[in-house]
Structure 1
């Protein structure tokens, strides 16, 4: 952090257990059920620790930096000062570096990887770092004015429960602004590996994790208790020399697959076949290959009595038909 402004705080185990138990009871009453177990969270932690401990870690930050910048723009669009904010899955703080203390006065950064947090690039506001899992936040109810998350939630086993936790720690009239990979992210790599593996090995296993569809995000936010929802999608395409460079960069980002049913290794012949398929099906004229990332952006507010509410159905005094007549009358003039 700039000027050593990053402070470390570790919650006492007894306090953590108390807060977590309280949160669990309240969220279970609000509809929490059995937890899916798609991803090996311990493996994801190891991947992020490895990615955060190398000497060239920042060379792989280009996607996170771009998404963090776009997400910070959405924070500025709210046109409000947030006394206390939380960023979950913060990594090296690619949102924080774009924020000013005039917008966020105090920021808590959490991540499962201590090594990554210790390399935080940060911003100018006062920050505190806390090692914590996005799937189980040991934080009090109604604490934060703003919760942020960038490129982290797509690795949670239970996204609905994660969104309920975010809603839980927000103050009324607080806002959640997040971004995660979704949609058809890495479809070129997925299809190339599946075709090559089917041809060479008589079947395929998943090498790319499953992603949330943009059409589902609004429903999940609404079910978690948020209102005044905004959901949109950006397509970010990055060109690489070949398939190996795609996979090396994903590993450097800490974005390698961690699904329980993943295959631990690929045969050399399969990789060579996948590289040929990749270039044949998706290759650019200059010999490079594209990798597409669908980034889902979401904004949701915790309800408060001061927020504007939709008018009751049938209360309108002007119909759309009347509006079209008014427009036509203005054009005639």
Structure 2
């Protein structure tokens, strides 16, 4: 993945529109939290865009030291004036309880072991520390995936995975719970992008370092016949009135807290001191509450 990000470094700035949307979603989540974060880490900071955008918002007052990190030295050289690290998201070099906030914008969907990364993030956070991450969800590139699959079946008589699978929102909230995060929240932001041609879409994916990263991807590449049939199918099914094709991207924002004794906890079943009927001002009947009738 590091070599892929290095190759994409020159074109990254021209294909940053989805990451800008993800950063906007992240800052919106952060701005709603009334908390000070003395030490924050950004995983997969790319060209440092998040740090620059953060500096221009009121949320900047909530963040003390921002540490930017990435796999790619080429992209790291373009970062903002924050502290910089070159590191692997799957091997975090931070001690337990050392960070107040961890941010990730559109980088964790490419890791090999997402549950393992989330466990490392939780361990690195101090009690009552916060994680906010954005990653592509299951609706992402559904049009391209469908057309590529059908075209390859027609042309070659079989299909190999060309696009890595993306997690669904419901699966992610369960994953946050299983990896020990408290009060997890998952939001979905669907973005529809218009292109003049499917190959223009694929060029943007390469510029964003979002081309196929699967280890077991097909050995045979996308030849002319396959691309031509995929293009025909794409225009037949997903072209608008102006002859441009559409592509869907689902940006999922997930957040969760490391456990702390000050956090709200659900009451034990049967421990309530007030009856629901009393709170609603109704009489309690045989099968629950009922409105009193005259």
TM-score in same-fold range (> 0.5): yes
C-alpha distance in structure 1 between counterparts of 2:195 and 2:275, whole Å: 53
Residue 150 (structure 1) aligns with: 105
1:244 is displaced (CA, Å) by: 0.1
Deviations 1:151-206 (A, max 9, x none): 01101111110100000110011000111002121010000001111111111111
Matched, 1:62 2:22: no
Spell out the pairing of 1:93-132 with structure 2 (5 A cutoff).
Answer: 93-100=48-55, 101-120=60-79, 122=80, 127-132=82-87
2:6 equivalent to 1:46: no
Output the CA distance in 1 between the equivalents of 2:51 and 2:276.
Answer: 44
Is 1:260 matched up with 2:215? yes
Q: Deviations over 1:232-282 (max 9, x none)?
A: 111111111111001000000111111012235201011011001011111
For 1:322 and 1:203, locate their aligned partners in 2 and report how far apart those are by CA, in whole Å.
64
Cα drift, residue 324 of structure 1: 4.8
Deviating 4+ runs (over 2 angstroms): 315-326
- State the secondary structure of the residue aligned to 1:285: coil
Matched, 1:240 2:195: yes
- The corresponding residue for 2:247 is 291
Distance 1:142 1:205 in 2: 43
**3-state SS of 1:293 partner:** strand
For 2:64 and 2:142, the matched residues in 1 are separated by 40
Which has a greater percent of strand? 2
C-alpha separation between the residues in 2 aligned to 1:319 and 1:136?
A: 50
Mark the runs of 5 or more structure 2 residues left unpaired by the alignment.
283-294
- Is 1:220 matched with 2:175? yes
CA RMSD of aligned residues (A): 1.5
> When the two structures are aligned, how many residues end up with a matched partner?
277
Unaligned runs of 5+ in 1: 1-43, 327-333
SS in 2 for 1:84: strand
